[in-house]
Structure 1
Amino acid sequence: MTVTTTPASVGESRGLPSLGPEGTALLRLLDDTFESWGVSAGARPMTMPPLLPAADLARLDYYDNFPHQAVVAAPLDLSARETNEFCTDSGCFPCTALRPAALGLPSASCYAVYIDHQGRQVADDMLVTVVGWCFRQEEYYEGLRRQLGFRMREVVAIGTREHAESHLASFTARIQAFAEALDLPLRKEAACDPFFDKGSSKAVLQRLTPVKHEFLYEDLAIASVNTHRNFFGDRCEITLESSGSPAFTSCAAFGLERWLSALTRRHGSWEAATEAVLRANAAGPAI
């Protein structure tokens, strides 16, 4: 199917495409839709910072498990400003012109939620929803399918094991019903994210029971449901008010730009894709 979209933006080859008015409107419509699912389930909308302390991410084994995706940020070292090392003729600053990189750009929105709740006691059935800019270093970039910087809406469960599992079951059903209403054929597949230390008992259990399922349109994962068991509860010392034990966590995640790519590819234009989402939303209780 021929897709009617705007011409490629200047930053597209670098994984930093822009969106015109039609794409922006559809992205907002989709984000409002996914956020409303969380709010209707009792989730508290929150806004998280775009950067996180690298030390906090390291404590969550992020740089051990996802070094291939990691992007960090550092301020300029102004003491090097008058030297050749500060020259930007190549289009980038050398390491000698930078101060230590103490900030990380997360690859998923939920990390900020766990870090924000560190050291807290929570109810057995907490839900939080956030949307954030996420960043992933990739071997190559491709339009809205694979980007350096993109937006991810997540609905995060923190509480008992039963609450975390129920959250995933509910959102799995909701994603599948929404896709059917959109006439968007999705394939659910088990995937593997190495959240856990490779030598730990949790990692062994992960190999036996997948902790991540993705929903793919053609070969593109546009949503996922993920369980982390009590890994983040333990590492961030998030405990349950009812028992004092580490909280279990799970999340449903939606890559917004990837949804745009899938919908326009399926329906052929921004207008047709937007109309499909409006019709699906109008189905109301069926979803």
Structure 2
Amino acid sequence: MSTETQTAFRDALVAHGLLIPMGVDGLYGRSGVFEDVVERFDALITQWGKDDGAEVMRFPPALNRRHFEKSEYLNSFPQLAGTIHSFEGNERDHQTLLQKLHDGEDWTGMQRPTDVVLTPAACYPVYPTIAARGVLPERGRVVDVYSTCFRHEPSLDPARMQLFRMREYVRIGTPNQVMSFRRSWLERGKLLMESLGVPVAIDLANDPFFGRAGRMLAANQRDQGLKFELLIPITSAEKPTACLSFNYHQDHFGLLWDIRTADGELAHTACVGFGMERVALALFRHHGFDPADWPQAVRAVLWG
């Protein structure tokens, strides 16, 4: 994937006023037109998921640091994590900080970590929340969650933002309940995106695990078919972008948080995740920069 192609698409989005550059790769403001497309797609997701009986949860873009540490995210993705630090010194420390700032020196060492970290995936606060309620009901639980997420991977590719929004449906229950849910959304997700007139493909995938051990985890994830992605060409036809993901975590989160099914077994979990900005970018890429000129069939799906 060439950086020239990525840059050209980003520059076109900026020229049409859809993205607002902020001087850092992967960090953008968004126009009212861009936001309208995201909101229309969000409503479409709700329409396709209405029969799941999901409980709606909306969290801020930050996690309890203790919950984050317990999640084992740092074991697998230390390169993506974002922590929040703040100044906690006295007046003398403040003067030292200001002097460093004035001299163009690194002042960040004057800060200390807070009790919150940036949310890496929308589903992460769901598991401790559900665990705190005790044993699952017989039918398990389905949660509809939406959050701004952070991953530290600055890029020229506008489809790889550092701060982005993720909508998820999370299924928690028995292995059969969870696998049935994922199969259903593999079919629904493809049909949903095809209704928007964009080229799609679903393929086996793996997460970007860190280091040598991570390569083994990635291979194991692929071998067991735990992750699939719905791919749409945005800045490359050869390497299309993952816009939806379908993940089966087995009993990983059930074990971490001691979530139990009605029969006392460890709960399994799965989720379907929608990359909101990526889907919007895919629509602009394939239908043009002005939604008023999009095919009528696509406009009918999104705007009615």
Q: 2:228 touches 2:247 (CA, 8 Å); kept in 1?
A: yes
Q: Distance in 2 between the 1:193 and 1:175 partners?
A: 19
Q: Distance in 2 between the 1:25 and 1:173 partners?
A: 26
Q: For structure 1, which segment, 262-271 or 31-40, has the greater mean C-alpha deviation from structure 2 after superposition?
A: 31-40
If asked which structure has higher relative contact order (CA below 8 Å, sep 6+), I would say 1
Q: 1:39 touches 1:129 (CA, 8 Å); kept in 2?
A: no
Give the partner amino acid of 1:138.
E
Structure 1 pair 256/89, CA: closer, same or farther in 2 (3 Å)? farther
Residue 212 (1) aligns with residue 227 (2): yes
Once the 2 structures are TM-superposed, how far is the Cα of residue 246 of structure 1 from its aligned partner? 1.4
Q: Distance in 2 between the 1:92 and 1:137 partners?
A: 23
For 1:258, the equivalent position in structure 2 comes to 278
For 1:137, the equivalent position in structure 2 comes to 152
Once the 2 structures are TM-superposed, how far is the Cα of residue 160 of structure 1 from its aligned partner? 0.9
Q: Distance in 1 between the 2:303 and 2:32 partners?
A: 23
| RMSD, matched Cα | 3.0
Q: Distance in 2 between the 1:35 and 1:16 partners?
A: 27
Q: For structure 1, which segment, 154-163 or 28-37, has the greater mean C-alpha deviation from structure 2 after superposition?
A: 28-37
Residue 244 (1) aligns with residue 264 (2): yes
Q: 1:51 touches 1:106 (CA, 8 Å); kept in 2?
A: yes
Q: For structure 1, which segment, 161-170 or 8-17, has the greater mean C-alpha deviation from structure 2 after superposition?
A: 8-17
Which of 221, 228, 247 is the equivalent residue of 2:249? 228
Query: Secondary structure at 2:30's aligned position in 1?
Result: coil
Residue 118 (1) aligns with residue 131 (2): yes
Q: Distance in 1 between the 2:149 and 2:203 partners?
A: 23
Query: Secondary structure at 1:225's aligned position in 2?
Result: strand
Once the 2 structures are TM-superposed, how far is the Cα of residue 10 of structure 1 from its aligned partner? 3.1
Structure 1 pair 58/267, CA: closer, same or farther in 2 (3 Å)? same
Residue 22 (1) aligns with residue 33 (2): yes
For 2:46, the equivalent position in structure 1 comes to 35
Q: 2:149 touches 2:166 (CA, 8 Å); kept in 1?
A: yes
Structure 1 pair 273/16, CA: closer, same or farther in 2 (3 Å)? farther
Q: 1:156 touches 1:252 (CA, 8 Å); kept in 2?
A: yes
Q: Distance in 1 between the 2:217 and 2:71 partners?
A: 14
The superposition leaves residues 39-69 of structure 1 with CA deviations (integer Å, 9 ceiling, x where unpaired) of 3321111112321122222212101101111
Structure 1 pair 24/274, CA: closer, same or farther in 2 (3 Å)? farther
Q: 2:41 touches 2:302 (CA, 8 Å); kept in 1?
A: no
Once the 2 structures are TM-superposed, how far is the Cα of residue 101 of structure 1 from its aligned partner? 4.1
Q: 2:252 touches 2:268 (CA, 8 Å); kept in 1?
A: yes
Q: For structure 1, which segment, 133-142 or 81-90, has the greater mean C-alpha deviation from structure 2 after superposition?
A: 81-90
Q: For structure 1, which segment, 255-264 or 54-63, has the greater mean C-alpha deviation from structure 2 after superposition?
A: 54-63
Once the 2 structures are TM-superposed, how far is the Cα of residue 84 of structure 1 from its aligned partner? 4.0
Residue 192 (1) aligns with residue 222 (2): no
Q: 1:85 touches 1:97 (CA, 8 Å); kept in 2?
A: no
Q: 1:26 touches 1:270 (CA, 8 Å); kept in 2?
A: no
For 2:166, the equivalent position in structure 1 comes to 152
State the percentage of identical aligned residues.
29
For 2:118, the equivalent position in structure 1 comes to 105
Unaligned runs of at least 5 residues, structure 2: 1-8, 234-239
Q: 2:197 touches 2:298 (CA, 8 Å); kept in 1?
A: no
Structure 1 pair 22/60, CA: closer, same or farther in 2 (3 Å)? same
Structure 1 pair 114/95, CA: closer, same or farther in 2 (3 Å)? same
Once the 2 structures are TM-superposed, how far is the Cα of residue 186 of structure 1 from its aligned partner? 0.9
Q: Distance in 1 between the 2:273 and 2:113 partners?
A: 31
TM-score under structure 1 length normalisation: 0.86
Q: Distance in 2 between the 1:126 and 1:209 partners?
A: 24
TM-score under structure 2 length normalisation: 0.81
Q: Distance in 2 between the 1:203 and 1:261 partners?
A: 27
For 1:168, the equivalent position in structure 2 comes to 182
Q: For structure 1, which segment, 92-101 or 29-38, has the greater mean C-alpha deviation from structure 2 after superposition?
A: 92-101
Once the 2 structures are TM-superposed, how far is the Cα of residue 24 of structure 1 from its aligned partner? 1.0
Q: Distance in 2 between the 1:253 and 1:114 partners?
A: 15
Q: 2:18 touches 2:33 (CA, 8 Å); kept in 1?
A: no
